[in-house]
Amino acid sequence: MRHTNDLKQKSKSHEVKQTGTTSYTVASGHTGKQYFITVLENGASCTCDWAKYRPADNNGRCGCSHVLAVMAYIEAEKGRTISAFQTFEQADRQHRPVMDIGDGILLTTRKAT
Ligand SMILES: [Zn+2]
């Protein structure tokens, strides 16, 4: 079981660059390795090792820290911040729109203060 708080903490150290309408590169804050993220309708796919083992019926969507970093980047452009959850119950408690990005990760967004 992954902890979404750790995941979010980890995603903060990554460096995100937009390279196209739906394409981004993320440089890992830990290893400096580069990953390529493609934003899909709900969520995004990634080229990291974690993403390789995501089930195909998930459309390649991945709940890794790289995808979270990109989601945070996109929402930041809209003046919003994200929170990540693993159950609808937890996410629902926020009373905010919930985005299911696949791979068992749910995001809520709120206006940055
Ligand atoms: Zn990844």
Give residue 24 CA to ligand 1 midpoint distance, Å.
Answer: 11
Give residue 67 CA to ligand 1 midpoint distance, Å.
Answer: 6
Give residue 88 CA to ligand 1 midpoint distance, Å.
Answer: 22
- Contact predicate 110/83, CB 8 Å: yes
pTM: 0.89
pLDDT (tens digit per residue) in 23-47: 999 999 889 999 999 999 889 999 9
CA distance 95 to 92: 5
Give residue 48 CA to ligand 1 midpoint distance, Å.
Answer: 4
Rounded to 5 degrees, φ, ψ at 70 are -65, -45
Identify the pLDDT of residue 1: 47
